[in-house]
C-alpha cells in the first residue's frame, strides 16, 4: 500500500502516528531513513548553517506541511476578472512565517531581550510579537466561496509581499491598484523598517505588512463579501 511504501522509504509508519506526542517520541527513538543519504560534507554544511542561529549539533527543528485538493470545477479562473473588481485584504496576525532572516538581522534577535516590553509594540515584548501564530484563512475563505459566486482571485501574502504575490492572481492586461493608506500596517513592521532603515518599497516587497491574504471579487459583491468575512471572524479591508 502507499502507507507501507512511505514506511519503507522514510522509516515512518504514517498509519500508526496519530498525535504530535507520538511524532515526537517516534523521531527521538527512530531517526528517519533519509538521514543515511546525507554525506559528511552536507551534514557539516547544515550544522554550520544552524550553528549561527544558536543550534547545537544535536538539535533540530521539526517542520511539516499540508497538501490541499480542490475539485477541478471549483478552481478559480482569473480570466473572469474585470476592470473595476475590488481587492479585499484580510488582516494578518503579525510577521507570519516570512522574512525572518531579515527580522533576525535587523532586530538582532540573538542578543535582544525578548521578554522586555517594547513601547513601539504597544507594550508587548519582541518575543511575544514574533512568535504570534500565523493566521490560517481556510474556514473564512470556504465561507466566502459558499456565499459569493464572484470570487475571482486570491493571493496569500507570503514571501515577496504585495509586489510578488498579488499579481499572480491577476490576468495579463489588468493590474491591482492598492490604496496604501488602506493597509493596516502593524507596529512590528514599522519597528523593522525604522531599525533597519528599510525602504517602503522593500518592506512591501518582503512582508505582509498587516494583510495576510487578498481576495478579488466583483464590485457589486464587495460589501457582501466583507460582511461574510467579518461574520467568519476576520477583519476585512477594501484595499483597491
Q: Which residue has the higher pLDDT, 115 or 57?
A: 115
Q: What is the pLDDT of residue 33?
A: 44
3-state class (DSSP) for residue 113: coil
How far is Cα of residue 39 from the mean position of the Cα atoms in its chain? 32
Q: What is the pLDDT of residue 6?
A: 46
Q: Which residue has the higher pLDDT, 118 or 98?
A: 118
**Distance of alpha carbon 184 from alpha carbon 69, whole angstroms:** 32
**149 pLDDT above the threshold of 80:** yes
Task: Please check whether residue 13 is in contact with residue 30, taking contact to mean a CB–CB distance below 8 angstroms.
Answer: no
Average pLDDT of the residues in 101-117: 93
Q: What is the pLDDT of residue 162?
A: 95
**Distance of alpha carbon 132 from alpha carbon 46, whole angstroms:** 27
Please report which confidence band the pLDDT of residue 3 belongs to, taking 50, 70 and 90 as the band edges: very low
Q: What is the pLDDT of residue 73?
A: 85
- The 10s digit of each residue's pLDDT in 94-103 is 999 888 889 9
Task: Please check whether residue 202 is in contact with residue 146, taking contact to mean a CB–CB distance below 8 angstroms.
Answer: no
pTM of the model: 0.75
Average pLDDT of the residues in 211-215: 97
Strand order of the β-sheet with 236-238 is: 151-156, 211-217, 86-91, 236-238
Q: What is the pLDDT of residue 2?
A: 45
Average pLDDT of the residues in 156-161: 92
Which triple of cell numbers denotes residue 144? 466566502
Q: What is the pLDDT of residue 68?
A: 77
- Quote the radius of gyration of the chain (alpha carbons, Å): 21
Average pLDDT, the chain: 84
Amino acid at each position: 500500500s502507499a502507507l507501507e511504501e512511505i514506511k519503507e522509504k522514510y522509516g515512518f509508519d504514517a498509519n500508526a502516528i496519530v498525535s504530535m506526542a507520538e511524532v515526537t517520541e517516534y523521531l527521538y527513538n527512530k531517526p528517519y531513513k533519509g538521514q543515511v543519504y546525507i554525506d559528511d560534507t552536507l551534514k557539516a554544511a547544515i550544522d554550520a548553517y544552524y550553528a549561527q542561529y544558536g543550534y547545537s549539533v544535536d538539535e533540530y527543528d521539526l517542520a511539516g506541511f499540508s497538501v490541499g485538493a480542490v475539485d477541478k470545477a471549483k478552481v478559480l479562473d482569473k480570466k473572469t476578472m474585470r476592470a473595476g473588481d475590488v481587492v479585499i485584504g484580510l488582516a494578518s496576525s503579525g510577521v507570519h512565517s516570512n522574512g525572518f532572516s531579515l527580522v533576525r538581522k535587523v532586530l538582532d534577535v540573538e542578543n535582544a531581550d525578548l521578554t522586555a516590553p517594547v513601547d513601539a509594540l504597544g507594550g508587548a515584548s519582541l518575543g511575544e510579537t514574533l512568535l504570534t501564530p500565523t493566521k490560517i484563512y481556510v474556514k473564512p475563505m470556504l465561507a466566502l466561496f459558499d456565499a459569493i459566486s464572484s470570487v475571482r482571485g486570491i493571493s496569500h501574502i507570503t514571501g515577496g509581499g504585495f509586489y510578488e504575490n498579488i499579481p499572480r492572481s491577476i490576468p495579463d492586461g489588468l493590474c491591482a491598484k492598492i490604496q496604501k493608506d488602506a493597509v493596516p500596517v502593524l507596529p512590528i513592521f514599522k519597528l523593522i523598517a525604522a531599525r533597519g532603515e528599510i525602504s517602503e518599497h522593500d518592506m512591501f516587497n518582503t512582508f505582509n505588512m498587516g494583510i495576510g491574504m487578498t481576495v478579488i471579487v466583483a464590485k457589486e459583491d464587495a460589501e457582501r463579501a466583507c460582511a461574510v468575512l467579518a461574520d467568519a471572524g476576520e477583519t476585512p479591508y477594501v484595499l483597491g
